[in-house]
Amino acid sequence: MAVHIFIILYEGSAWGCAERLYDTYCIRLLLEQKYVFKIFCYIFNCETQKKERKYSMARTKGKLKKLRVIPLGGLGEIGKNLTVLEYSDNILIVDCGLGFPNDDMLGVDLVVNDITYLISNAEKIQGLVLTHGHEDHIGGIPYLLKKMNVPIYGTRLTLGILENKLAEHELGFQPELNCVCAGDTVKLGLFEVEFIHVNHSIADACALAIRTPLGVIVHTGDFKIDTTPVEGEMTDLTRFGQLGKEGVLLLMCESTNAERPGYTPSEHKIAESLVRIFDLYKDKRIVIATFSSNVHRIQHIISNSVKFGRKVAVTGRSMINIVSAAVELGYMNIPEGVLIDVSEIKKYPPEKLTVISTGSQGEPMSALYRMAFNMHDKIELGTDDLVIISASAIPGNEKLVGNIINELYKKGVRVLNDSVAEVHVSGHACQEELKIIHALTKPQYFMPIHGEARHLYHHKELAEYMGMEPNRIFISEVGKILEIGTDGAKFNGTVPSGIVLVDGTGVGDVGNVVLRDRRHLSEDGIIIVVATIDTQASDIVSGPEIVSRGFVYAKESEPLIEQIRMISREALYHCLDKGVRDWAQLKYKMKEDLSKFIYSQTKRKPMILPIIMDI
């Protein structure tokens, strides 16, 4: 049985009518009964015809296919941004960032995403597209490429920063890096990705319009709307509006500043403030710590240094790498003779020097940290110095930044940060800018991204204020699957996800057990008991010797150490006299007896490590 329905539709209303007609009960019933179903739409609008073709792509042999949106990072946290889009046997990756360890991740250098799902579906991956060159968006790429080789697409500065990063890792192959510009479109399997110019705290940032068989996904990346940008044009709001008219299936919009009302100030505000500061502090050496990727701000610092007759020294590995890449690619203009090596600063009077440094987040062993704690081999700070921290503390780093500021004040150093001077503006959109993107794109569905839980929920409330129905807003979690089809959208299952800890050259070899031991050692210390026994004679040949680290100072606690030695000796003889020769039982008895005694005396639980040798 064939049912033919003829519909004459006119410009402006065609597809909406067709969708409403499809959603009616009778037609869905026909589909469920597997009858042949045809709709002939005589449409006088070419854009509507494109949507009709897209709709036919989404149905294959009567079965509705689903678009899966899977965040593997960047939700419920700051950093580690990574999103997976999947349709049929095609996967597209958007960004691949890293995060920094929490206070309880002792000894850990970096945190990256668990990419088990991508590894198991590597043959489906069409490519990795990058929104911009910040660490929380590209820092995890070297660890991804060590598992699989995927083509990467990004703008010129983004790839320039990435190339420097990849040079530090031995991949064993040449990654496929494809340079694009804002306005370009690349086809990756069933996906078409358009790069859209946006303003951010780094040059060459882009939002993405991702065309899928079901519709367009707009992924904003990190952005703000700066009407007076330092370089180039303001965010391409025209394109967002055009996409809104064409129809946006899903908006994935950043949420970092969703709690903040109003608009984010322009970067030009910092340029004006820097002029005043350089003029006011002519008699001091100026040390400025900022994000190494904020190329425009670094350019302002260098330009003002030139204006006031100062030489510029750059310290901090990431700062040196990014400044070198920006100069090479033409994103920075530095007059010849202005840049000097940090080893040459003693050749110049302090008031004729500007030092640009890393460490604006208080990172241990960063350049500013080493200066503050007298660990820098070239720069020593004092009363003749002004330190400007041109950044706001990322959530979780407030204590680290505060420690550095306190140490600098103890040295008599004058400190300016965003709480006392106009030395920083955010690179992220505030509420009014977010409203503009929502109003322009008019999405069918919305998923807030890039932020902790409070940021995501504030963004949800903002979308509802803009008139969006709550059941069309999806606050997701890392690893959670959002499925979108022509019949609606819903969460449906999860994929393997989580974090992988990077410690030195080791990736993933530090897990919960190792972290637990490190926390144990940091809280209560360790006691090592060393003894040599003769199992045949059932006697102790030497020891037990007691070594204590982080528990008590042995020289001041000799009576306690002697008691520990005696209890260890008694535990060993107790086992030997009973004929116990199993090493595990010997160690267990010693640990059990010592733990009870030490806790009764000190209310502490140090790690106890018995070392028993047999002659």
Residues 399 and 325 grouped into a single domain: yes
Lowest mean pLDDT among 69-78, 215-224, 401-410, 528-537: 528-537
Looking at the structure, tell me whether residues 290 and 308 fall in a common domain: yes
Residue 421 is assigned to a structural domain of this protein = no
Is the same domain home to 99 and 149? yes
Assess whether 239 and 180 both reside in one domain.
yes
Parent domain of 56: 2-64
Of the residues 381, 416, 451, the one at which a domain ends: 416
Q: What is the mean pLDDT of residues 2-25?
A: 36
Outline where DSSP puts E strands in 460-511: 480-485, 488-494, 499-503, 506-507
Residues 238 and 126 in one domain: yes
Please give the Cα distance from 587 to 590 (Å, whole number). Answer: 5
| CATH at 595 | 3.10.20.580
pLDDT bracket for residue 185 (50, 70, 90): very high
pLDDT of residue 23: 39
- pLDDT value, residue 37: 32
pTM: 0.77
Per-residue model confidence as pLDDT tens digits over 302-357: 999 999 999 999 999 889 988 988 898 888 889 999 999 999 999 999 999 999 99
* Statement to judge: residues 234 and 380 lie in one domain: no
What is the predicted pLDDT for the residue at 53?
Answer: 41
Q: Mind listing the pLDDT tens digit for each residue in 64-119?
A: 589 999 999 999 998 899 999 999 999 999 999 998 776 666 667 778 899 999 99
Q: State mean pLDDT over 219-242.
A: 94
Q: Are residues 254 and 116 in the same domain?
A: yes
Q: Is 336 contained in some domain?
A: yes
The model's pLDDT over 440-488, given as tens digits with 9 standing for 90+, comes to: 999 999 999 999 999 999 999 999 999 999 999 999 999 999 999 999 9
Q: What is the DSSP string of 341-393?
A: -GGGGGGS-GGGEEEEES-TT--TTSHHHHHHTT--SS----TTEEEEEESPP
Residue 422 lies in a domain: no
Q: What angle do CA 445, 447, 451 make, to 5 degrees?
A: 165
List the beta bridge partners of residue 464. none
Residue 178, domain member (yes or no) = yes
Confidence (pLDDT) at 1: 40
Domain boundary among 47, 64, 81: 64
Residues 20-65: pLDDT tens digits? 333 333 333 333 333 333 333 333 344 444 444 444 444 434 445 8
What pLDDT was estimated at residue 576? 85
Q: Residue 222's closest CA among 137, 127, 97, 99?
A: 137
Give yes or no: residues 113 and 231 share one domain.
yes
Report the CATH number at residue 111. Answer: 3.60.15.10
Q: What's the mean pLDDT when you consider all of the chain?
A: 85
**Both tokens assigned to 64:** 């509705």
- Asked if the bond preceding 544 is cis, omega within 30° of 0, the reply is yes
d(CA 545, CA 568): 9
pLDDT category at 264 given cuts 50, 70, 90 is very high
Taking 80 as the threshold, does the pLDDT of residue 13 lie above it?
A: no
Residue 15 has pLDDT above 50, yes or no: no
The pLDDT value recorded for residue 17 is 38
User: Is the Cα dihedral 473, 437, 244, 76 positive or negative?
Assistant: negative
Is-contact 486 59, C-beta < 8 A? yes
* 596 CA to centre of own chain: 44
Long-range pairs, 534-543, Cβ under 8 A, ≥24: 534/614, 534/615, 535/576, 535/581, 535/614, 538/576, 538/577, 538/579, 539/576, 540/569, 540/572, 540/573, 540/576, 541/615
What letters, b where the CB count within 10 A reaches 16 and e where it falls short, cover 295-305? bbbbbbbbbbb
Orientation of helix 156-167 relative to helix 317-329, angle to 10°? 140
d(CA 17, CA 20): 5
Q: Report which residue type is found at 527.
A: I
Q: Is the predicted pLDDT of residue 6 greater than 50, yes or no?
A: no
Q: What is the largest CA-CA distance in the chain?
A: 103
**Does 189 reside within a domain?**
yes
How many CA atoms lie within 13 Å of 257's alpha carbon, on the beta-carbon side? 23
Which residues are registered as beta bridge partners of 485? 488
Instruction: Examine residue 497 and state whether it is found in any structural domain, yes or no.
Output: yes
In a domain, 120, yes or no: yes
- What's 69's DSSP letter? E
Quick one: 391 and 448 in the same domain?
no
Range with the poorest average pLDDT among 37-41, 223-227, 276-280, 372-376: 37-41
Q: How far is residue 113's CA from residue 448's CA, in Å, rounded to a whole number?
A: 19
46-55, 141-150, 254-263, range with the lowest pLDDT = 46-55
Q: Does position 373 have pLDDT exceeding 90, yes or no?
A: yes
Could you tell me if 348 and 379 are in contact, meaning their C-beta atoms sit under 8 angstroms apart? no
The number of distinct structural domains making up the chain is 4
| AA letter at 75 | L
Q: What is the mean pLDDT of residues 520-528?
A: 79
CATH number assigned to the domain comprising residue 401: 3.40.50.10710
Determine the 3-state secondary structure of 236 from DSSP. coil
Looking at the structure, tell me whether residues 98 and 148 fall in a common domain.
yes
Residue ending a domain, among 391, 416, 441, is 416
Q: Is residue 508 part of a domain?
A: no
Question: pLDDT (tens digit, 9 = 90+) per residue, 554-584?
Answer: 676 788 888 888 898 888 888 888 888 788 8
pLDDT bin (cut points 50, 70, 90) of residue 395 is confident
Where b means 16+ CB within 10 Å and e means fewer, 420-442 reads eebbbbbbbbbbebbebbbebbb
Q: Do residue 434 and residue 527 come from a single domain? A: no
CA angle, 297 as apex, 258 and 280 as ends, to 5°?
110
Non-local CB neighbours of 324 within 8 Å, separated by 6+ positions: 164
Residues 455 and 589 placed together within one structural domain of the fold: no
Residue 61, phi-psi category: left (phi > 0), alpha (psi -120 to 50), beta (remainder): left
pLDDT, residue 464, reads 97
Length of the chain: 615
CB 68 within 8 A of CB 483: yes
CA-to-CA distance for 165 and 133, rounded, in angstroms?
Answer: 11
Percent of the chain with pLDDT strictly greater than 70: 85
pLDDT band of residue 500 (cuts 50, 70, 90) is confident
